[in-house]
Amino acid sequence: MVTPSPSGDREKVVSKLPSWLRRDLKVRAAQVGVDIQDAVSQGIEMWRASSDDLPAVDTAGGVAWSSWLPHGQWSELKETCTERGIPLVQGLAQSIELWLRQHSGPATTPYTRRLVVCNQKGGVGKTAIAAGIAGACAEDSALQVPVAAEAVAMLSDDKAADSDLPGEAEDLLQKDELHPGLGLRVLLVDYDPQGHLSKQLGIPLIPIDSPSLAKYMAGTERAGTVRDLIAKVDDDRFGGRLDILPACADAFLLDIMISTDRNRQATLERVLEPLEADYDAIVVDCPPSLGVGMDAAIYYSRRRDDEAPGNSGVIIPVQAEDSSGDAFVLLLDQIESGKADWRIQVDHLGLVVNLYDARDGYVVTSSLEAWKGMKEPKVVGVIGRLKDQREAVRNKRALVSYAPASQQAKVIRRIAREIV
């Protein structure tokens, strides 16, 4: 599939790539400071100019992938693939592999992924996104789960259900992909004193006079450790891999509790870092706030020394409406201020446009296009305003367990795979 850009100098191409190659490309491009689209373009040029007998790349299990290339380059790649008697997907994969070999990145240290879901505006669905991503990451690897194709995850539900794209492009966009569950060990942190995440998963909130995350952050709790507070999400779909640190109402006072700490931005990390060896990913559901507690969450998401770009960072749920845009600007200002003050790097893992319904009219549809037009952070998925998530909450179950074949579950799985 090829779609011209409005400016005419580039065109959007859609193909397939194995997940591991997509991940390596994303990380290496960030490490060497090159846009992914430019890296792919350079790789295609090198591959077409090469006369070497390059090894075949295992493209089995390829998933939908898209990029913007200079006008005409995709056609040139197709012609070269035909001349060499190999599939287009193989030529693309070899091009990217060649670019990776030519652009070695610095050695990185493996870290537990720290995914901070945040937006100071309430009602945008932070909790649903945090729970959805965590559930999608923890699904048993013995399961074959339906995942929305990348292009479908970027479409509003009305377009995804009624695409008029012809032939091969329609097949590529419309078909779900079946993949094994990610099988990761995940800790959900309910960082919001309202406790919506804990309640959604049927986990009791911590009594206000008991040890809590806030008390450990403030250093006022000496007995035990925060590990004693962790509860397991009892669901066979996750095989014991999904845990939660429940909320406590004392977090309403968190900003006051940690305000006198000399390194208050590091208070969340001091408590959670000892848990990281037990998990592949820690997902933090933040409150709608721009206070000191939010500073601590931003600092926790920072890229650590020798950590691969994009391994950890912030995920920002938004809605397709004007007030969500205003709140987004305020959050970005806070993140940029923290980066400057603490001399850190915070990676934007993506925007999730949530609760979208095109029937709400022009403001909504035009806002969606504005979000999708942003280059950084980019939109990694559009989730419709459908009943499945609300029903999952009512039944106190994770979305991917309550409605595993729903469109919302398919898209949240795609988002999880884009991030991890």
189-207 pLDDT, tens digit each: 999 999 999 999 999 999 9
pLDDT over 80 at 75, yes or no: yes
pTM of the model: 0.82
Over range 361-385, report the average pLDDT.
Answer: 89
CB atoms within 10 A of CB 340: 9
Stretch 98-122: mean pLDDT, rounded?
88
CA 79, 84, 85, 91: dihedral to nearest 10 degrees? -70
Lowest mean pLDDT across 187-201, 327-341, 353-367: 353-367
Nearest to 153 by CA among 368, 383, 406: 383
Query: In this structure, what is the dihedral angle of CA atoms 338, 341, 343, 347, given to the nearest 10 degrees?
Result: 10
Lowest mean pLDDT among 14-18, 249-253, 269-273: 14-18
Which range among 97-106, 174-183, 344-353, 402-411 shows the weakest confidence by mean pLDDT?
A: 174-183
Q: State the pLDDT at residue 395.
A: 93
Q: What is the DSSP letter of 251?
A: G
Other C-beta atoms lying within 10 Å of the C-beta of residue 223: 7
CA of residue 213 relative to chain centroid, distance? 25
Please give the pLDDT value at position 87. Answer: 94
Give the pLDDT of residue 155: 67
Residue 4 binned pLDDT confidence (cut-offs 50, 70, 90) = low
- Counting every residue written for the chain, the total comes to 420
Distance CA 141, CA 156 (A): 29
**Two tokens at 117?**
């879901």
How much is the pLDDT for 416?
Answer: 95
Half-sphere exposure of 227 (CA within 13 A, CB side): 9
Strand partners, 156: none
What confidence tier does 161 reach under pLDDT thresholds 50, 70, 90? very low
Per-residue pLDDT, 331: 94
Mean pLDDT confidence for 398-405: 95
Alpha-carbon distances, residue 233 vs 236, 244, 307, 396 (angstroms): 9, 7, 29, 10
Residue 168: the pLDDT is: 38
- The pLDDT of residue 169 is 39
Q: Around 176, how many Cα atoms within 13 Å sit in the side-chain half-sphere?
A: 19
Euclidean distance between CA atoms 197 and 191, whole angstroms: 9
pLDDT at 373 (0 to 100): 87
Q: Is the pLDDT of residue 116 over 90?
A: yes
pLDDT of residue 341: 95
The encoded tokens of residue 49 equal 């100019």
pLDDT confidence tier of residue 7, bands split at 50, 70 and 90: low
Least confident of 17-31, 76-90, 342-356, 398-412: 17-31
Average pLDDT over the chain reads 89
**Residue 209 confidence (pLDDT) above 80:** yes
Residue, of 255 and 170, whose pLDDT is higher = 255
Q: Is the pLDDT of residue 145 over 50?
A: yes
268/389: higher pLDDT: 268
Report cis status (omega within 30 of 0) of the bond before 377: yes
- pLDDT at position 386 is 86
Q: Could you tell me what percent of the chain has a pLDDT over 70? A: 93
**pLDDT score of 125 more than 70:** yes
Q: Contacts for 290-293 with beta carbons within 8 Å, 24 or more apart?
A: 290/120, 290/330, 290/331, 290/334, 291/254, 291/255, 292/254, 292/255, 292/258, 292/259, 292/264, 292/265, 293/191, 293/251, 293/254, 293/255, 293/258, 293/268
The whole-angstrom separation of Cα 409 and Cα 23 is 22
CA 85/CA 386 separation, integer angstroms = 46
Q: What contacts 343, CB < 8 A, 6 or more positions away?
A: none
> Lowest-confidence range among 37-41, 47-51, 151-155, 260-264?
151-155
pLDDT at 375: 78
Banded pLDDT at 174 (limits 50, 70, 90): low
Categorize the per-residue pLDDT at 3 as very low, low, confident or very high, splitting at 50, 70 and 90: low
